[in-house]
Amino acid sequence: MRKLVFITVFSLIVMALQAQPRVVSGPMLGPVELRDAKIWLEVSTEVKSVTLQFNKKGEKKRKLLQYKGILENEFNPVVFTIGGLDFNSTYQYNILINGKPSAVGGEVTTKDLWQWRKPVPDFNFLTGSCAYFNEPVFDRPGKAYGGDSAIFEAMAKEKSAFMLWLGDAWYTREVDYFSEWGLWYRASRDRAMPVMQNFLKAMPQLGIWDDHDFGPNNFGVNYVLKEASRKVFNSYFCNPSAGENGQGIYTMMSWGDADIFMTDGRWWRSADEMQDSVNGKPNTEKVMLGEQQMKWLKNALLYSNATFKIIAVGSQVLNPVSPYEAWWKFVAEYKELKDFLQDNKINGVVFLSGDRHHSEIIKVNRPGTYPLYDITVSPLTSGTHKFGGTEKENPYRILGIDEKQNYGRFSFTGKRNDRKLTVEFFGVKGEKLGEWNINENELKTPKTNNQ
């Protein structure tokens, strides 16, 4: 009886605490630029006002930003944009809930203005895909699919410029697929995991989606809730932008001498089962990026002066022996991009992908120009995959890691015109699992006698 009373009282205390106005998750850093920064968080239904208080580190004068959006919904993601900052400066911030200080806060450091003034900076970013948090009542029976989430504790200790999520930042379940409420619930619930919180504020977080944070497995253009899904995704990531004309979530960002092209492989995606060719010719109706996004990507690549041009895609791009989703299976569109890269002598291109539940680097040679590389980083916490079948001895693979949770670190180092990209893979506790590097000069179109 005494035990029952204790449990009842404890439950009431927990319920009372949960009913208090509070920060549900975050803060999470969004894009950080030279003179502004975005800070994201989610608050509980009881919160009536949210204020960001910040000051330059070492200075006492504080400024306040009042959130002007709608609150008191069931799900309340909030984004602050702090403007008028000094470059290469650190700012401290904390959150006021209903006018009262909370224990929630952190620091943010703006980019440095190095262009035309200093050597190109050395820096690194983290990347990975497929983060699954178990919820037994909704998970499929059998062995738990989600792995050791302590990997986020190791990642939080990294001194990195930003984190680039490569899709499946959360996993919708069957109960979520055709429920708009379910889509909001899944993103909110997974983002609020305690193990995530230190990582979210440790560095800026940017992301693309793949099928599981878009909707059902392998879905694309046909998904009936894709408009709602886009709204959810844009509410839980504060990327620099999200597509154009209210379509898609593609965008780009720059850091140092790298441009990151963050593509959307779901919004316009044709069914994987659509025929690759019709009457012996590539089927132009089978697309992954779609006409609008391809036009944007081509122009963005032409405008880019970056040493390294990283094209992030949810699905693998190059793997010629993959039995699963890959961009090369969308034959017409894939050929269109490859031809464009070669015809326009676009240097420094490297593909970065997730999805596969193993990590690897695929190399595909191109006659007359430099090879293309597809670097896959997966999984963070979801189930792992073992190389087998046609992929067991993949002749295109130059590095492979299977049956292990892992994340990647991309480091950019060296003097101008001799820059090096180093890719490292790390396990749950931050132990190194593999390393590969390439010099910028290995990613350039060979000069001919006419050049």
Length of the chain, please? Answer: 451
| CATH number attached to the domain at 123-443 | 3.60.21.70
Give helix 291-303 / helix 331-343 axis angle, nearest 10°: 20
Q: Could you tell me which of 285, 287, 282, 236 has the C-alpha nearest to residue 264?
A: 287
- pLDDT at residue 450 tops 90: no
Equal fold, 21-109 vs 123-443: no
Q: What pLDDT score does 277 carry?
A: 87
- pLDDT at residue 1 tops 90: no
Q: Per the confidence metrics, is the pTM higher than 0.85?
A: yes
242-296 pLDDT tens trace: 999 999 999 999 999 999 999 999 999 999 999 988 888 999 999 999 999 999 9
206-227 pLDDT tens trace: 999 999 999 999 999 999 999 9
Q: Which residues pair with 92 in a beta bridge?
A: 55, 107
Q: What pLDDT score does 10 carry?
A: 44
Amino acid at 301: L
- pLDDT at residue 122 tops 70: yes
| CATH number attached to the domain at 21-109 | 2.60.40.10
Q: What pLDDT score does 280 carry?
A: 87
76-90 pLDDT tens trace: 999 999 999 999 999
Q: Could you tell me which of 355, 381, 410, 358 has the C-alpha nearest to residue 152?
A: 381
Round the average pLDDT of the chain to a whole number and report it.
Answer: 95
159-203 pLDDT tens trace: 999 999 999 999 999 999 999 999 999 999 999 999 999 999 999
Spell out the domain ranges in the chain.
Answer: 21-109, 123-443
Could you count the other beta carbons within 10 Å of the beta carbon of residue 254? 14
Q: What pLDDT score does 13 carry?
A: 41
**Extended beta strands in 130-269, E state:** 163-166, 205-208, 251-255, 258-262
